[in-house]
Structure 1
């Protein structure tokens, strides 16, 4: 009986040793991660011009300003006192100024913060227009603008004032949403 117990213990010890040896022979430890360097740092730019292109390589918008700061956590940009140009698919672009601007990482959203003035020159598709408002949400990829603030739209022969505005840059439509008041210049008789 003692001899039988010794054989069982020896067989178990041999099985444990073989298991341990096979484990270390076939075990491949995880390789250490490749060194990729420190995370991308924040940066600032002074006196810059940013030209953003769409997926087809056409100009989407341009921002020129005295200062830009990039946020490291989400890649967004903060711009002080920008002069901007938002391209239209057809016709004249909108040019303007705002107190500051926020641009998300992929350039699909701009917040033109503070007082905003924008103007469009006349062409064959649409007449000249000037917009004065604040805090404009711009979607350059969709060629769309909107604000919930009071807005004034000035065009030759008319001044429109209201609260809230939507603009479709593709169709050249400007829409005031509420409390709309209009002043029209009298037409001259020939």
Structure 2
């Protein structure tokens, strides 16, 4: 083999490597693209979810919802939930952030979570915590964080909570302290 044949082979190899490099730069792996951005984003949305019988399970509103295509999870910015109780009146639940795991049977709320009972169903109840998991099909809520529950004349604090929003039954799990001030 003479020097010209060697030079031509080196130039062909260099051209092939350069062409492949340019092609890769303009055609990134599909997996990299799919995991680096959501497959859809909703702005100023309202979602009404129905149960198996076609009855409203909850309504969700918010400024932004994003779905991750890789693990089928959703993140929510400042979500607002309306969860009906058995009489058709609504609990209002707000938080700074929300996360829906794959499967969608629950919602994890974090950051200044506030749940307010329906005004038509006394006693007026306000629940405040830093995190809350809503079990959507069951209308139950729970947390292992510190919780403050306020009703007219009564303030209760504790660690951990379980709530049946349908029946307006709330239980604090440990380190419970209550302050009762009679209403006149």
TM-score (norm 2): 0.73
CA shift, 1:187, in A, is 4.7
Q: How far, CA to CA, are the matches of 1:47 and 1:57 in structure 2?
A: 24
Larger radius of gyration: 1
Q: How far, CA to CA, are the matches of 2:153 and 2:181 in structure 1?
A: 5
Report the RMSD for the aligned CA atoms in angstroms.
1.9
* Residue in structure 1 matching 2:170, options 171, 174, 178: 174
* 1:134 counterpart = 2:142: no
Q: How far, CA to CA, are the matches of 2:101 and 2:54 in structure 1?
A: 19
Question: What are the Cα deviations for residues 4-50 of structure 1, in whole angstroms up to 9, with x where unaligned?
Answer: xxxxxxxxxxxxxxxxxxxxxxxxxxxxxxxxxxx9x7110111111
Q: How far, CA to CA, are the matches of 1:96 and 1:107 in structure 2?
A: 17
* Residue in structure 2 matching 1:46, options 43, 46, 49: 43
CA shift, 1:62, in A, is 1.4
Query: Contact 1:52 / 1:107 at 8 angstroms: preserved in 2?
Result: no
Q: How far, CA to CA, are the matches of 1:105 and 1:146 in structure 2?
A: 19
The runs of 4+ residues in structure 1 deviating greater than 6 Å are none
- 2:69 corresponds to: 72
Unaligned segments of structure 1, at least 5 residues: 1-38
2:86 counterpart SS class = coil
Question: Would you say how many aligned residue pairs link Structure 1 and Structure 2?
Answer: 148
